[in-house]
Amino acid sequence: MLVLSRQRDESIMIGDNIVITIVDIRGDKVRLGINAPTEIPVHRQEVYEAIQRENLRASRLEPKDTRGLGSGKEVRGRRPEAREE
Amino acid sequence: MQIRTTRFGPLEVEPEDLIRFANGLPGMEDCKHWVLLADAETSALGWLQCTSRAEVALAVVSPRRFVPNYQFRVYRSELAPLELDDVKDAQVLVVVGKNDRAITLNLKAPVVINLQRRLGRQVVANGDQPLCYELAHTPAPLKKSA
Using DSSP bridges, classify how beta strands A18-26 and A11-14 pair: parallel, antiparallel or unpaired: antiparallel
- Mutate which of A40, A69, A81 to disrupt the B interface (most B C-beta within 10 Å)? A69
Distance CA B96, CA B116 (A): 24
Is it the case that residue A10 has pLDDT exceeding 60?
yes
Q: How high is the mean pLDDT of chain A?
A: 85
Question: In the prediction, which pLDDT does B92 show?
Answer: 96
Closest CA to A55 of B135, B133, B96, B35: B96
- Mean pLDDT value across residues A36-61: 90
Q: What is the DSSP letter of A75?
A: P
B36 vs chain A: nearest CA distance in angstroms?
A: 5
A26 vs chain B: nearest CA distance in angstroms?
A: 24
- Compute the CA torsion angle B67, B69, B70, B76 (nearest 10 deg): 160
Say yes or no for a CB contact (<8 Å) between B44 and A69. Answer: yes
List chain B residues with pLDDT less than 70. 137-146
Compute how many other C-beta atoms are within 10 angstroms of the C-beta atom of residue B34: 27
User: Per-residue b/e over A32-47, b at no fewer than 16 CB within 10 Å?
Assistant: eeeeeeeeeeeeeeee
B97 vs chain A: nearest CA distance in angstroms?
A: 5
Is it the case that residue A85 has pLDDT exceeding 50?
no
User: Per-residue b/e over B3-24, b at no fewer than 16 CB within 10 Å?
Assistant: bebebbeebebeeebbbebeeb
ipTM for the predicted complex comes to 0.89
Distance CA A39, CA B83 (A): 14
Question: In the prediction, which pLDDT does A83 show?
Answer: 44
B87 and B73 in contact (C-beta within 8 Å)? no
Say yes or no for a CB contact (<8 Å) between B35 and A78. Answer: yes
Say yes or no for a CB contact (<8 Å) between B36 and A80. Answer: no
Question: In the prediction, which pLDDT does B88 show?
Answer: 86
Question: In the prediction, which pLDDT does B9 show?
Answer: 95
Specify which residues A26 forms β-bridges with.
A29
Distance CA B136, CA B103 (A): 8
What Å distances lie between residue B56 and A55, A75, B6, B27, B126, CA to CA?
A: 10, 19, 8, 11, 27
Question: In the prediction, which pLDDT does A51 show?
Answer: 97
Is it the case that residue A72 has pLDDT exceeding 80?
no
